[in-house]
Structure 1
Amino acid sequence: MILEHADITIAPGRNAEFEEAIRRGIATVIAKAEGFRDAQVHRGIESPERYLLTIHWDTLENHTVDFRGGPLFPQWREIVGPFFAKPPVVEHFELATQHP
């Protein structure tokens, strides 16, 4: 399983709108993607315009090829893209160790 970590900064004062949009985007678009497992969104405390979106995918290719290269990605960006103050920084991680 792969963890996608997207660091998102939005325009100030648009938190409520963005949070509704990202909830809707995950439920109606990303959840339909091949290999999607789950997603979480965290809002920054010190920087409330900053969000961390984490998504578990079955494989790296499920995100980078199937989702980003497929028809769902433009739908996703149409929903959340207007809120971005700058392009998100996206990285992928694999589990190195786990504590129960």
Structure 2
Amino acid sequence: MIVEYIRYKIPPSDAPRFEQDYAEAGRSLDASAHCRGYELARCLDEPGSYILRIQWDSVEGHMQGFRGSVEFRAFFAAIKPYVGMIEEMRHYGVTAVQRTEAP
């Protein structure tokens, strides 16, 4: 599994629409066989800053599988207005240093 992090800088006035559009884009992630989970977090200290965290089965699953799919076209259509507001987009490998809250 790998994790993709995307940092956005969104004008606060656009935040409600941004979150609505990402909720729509989430349906495409839900439909992807390669997506293992995702979350969108808004910075409390700087409300225009967001981080999207997406868990993928692999880099190949994301870059070839998802990006070559019908789901990606719908995902990109939903988030296209915000592409120019991306500050950083990177893939990370998960290390053994972690804790997940028990259900």
TM-score of the pair, normalised by structure 1: 0.83
| Aligned counterpart, 2:62 | 63
- Map of 1:41-56 to 2, 5 A cutoff? 41-56=40-55
Structure 1 match to 2:80? 81
Alpha-carbon displacement from aligned partner over 1:10-56 (angstroms, at most 9, x marks no partner): 23401111111111211x21111122111011012232122100011
User: How far 1:88 moved relative to its partner?
Assistant: 5.1
1:7 is matched with which residue?
7
Instruction: Using the aligned pairs only, state the percent identity.
Output: 23
Q: Aligned letter for 1:7? A: R
Spell out the pairing of 1:15-54 with structure 2 (5 A cutoff): 15-26=15-26, 28-54=27-53
Q: Match of 2:75, SS? A: helix
Answer with 87-96 or 48-57: which moved more: 87-96
SS at match of 1:93: strand
Gaps of 5+ in 2: none
How many matched pairs?
99
Displaced runs of 4+ in structure 1, greater than 3 A? none
RMSD of aligned alpha carbons: 1.8
1:34-82 deviation per Cα after TM superposition (whole angstroms, max 9, x unaligned):
2211101101223212210001111111111111232222211211222
Higher share in helix: 2
Residues 11 and 84, structure 1, Cα contact 8 Å, conserved in 2: no
Structure 1: distance between partners of 2:89 and 2:48: 17
